């Protein structure tokens, strides 16, 4: 949840509190499946993914193993900005 993202911790906490109310108890709730890197690539610009890799070690590991990781490494071959 970076700067400019509508998904801020306080907003998500407010949504969770609202969903705990009696009105929503009949809804089925489930955990969303983890997105594949290829799906993330389709909906986010490369620069966004690169920035997220700096703050999310798990994402960095997944990207490192993917084709996207190869692309980022070649793009940044002369830069120390991102270490995958």
pLDDT digits (tens, 9 = 90+) for 41-58: 888 888 888 888 888 888
- Total count of domains within the chain: 1
What's the rounded Cα separation, in Å, for the pair 31 and 75? 35
pTM across the whole model: 0.48
Contact present, 8 and 57 (Cβ < 8 Å):
no
Confidence (pLDDT) at 17 = 92
The domain containing residue 25 runs over which residues? 9-75
Judge whether 80 lies within some domain: no
Judge whether 53 lies within some domain: yes
What's the rounded Cα separation, in Å, for the pair 53 and 57? 7
What's the rounded Cα separation, in Å, for the pair 28 and 35? 21
Judge whether 83 lies within some domain: no
Q: Which residue has the higher pLDDT, 34 or 27?
A: 27
Confidence (pLDDT) at 5 = 66
Judge whether 65 lies within some domain: yes
């Amino acid at each position: 949840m970076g700067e400019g993202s509508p998904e801020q911790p306080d907003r998500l906490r407010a949504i969770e509190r609202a969903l705990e109310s009696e009105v929503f108890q009949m809804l089925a709730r489930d955990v969303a499946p983890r997105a594949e890197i290829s799906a993330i690539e389709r909906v986010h610009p490369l620069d966004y993914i690169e920035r997220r890799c700096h703050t999310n070690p798990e994402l960095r590991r997944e990207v490192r193993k993917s084709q996207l990781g190869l692309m980022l490494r070649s793009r940044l071959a002369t830069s120390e900005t991102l270490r995958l």
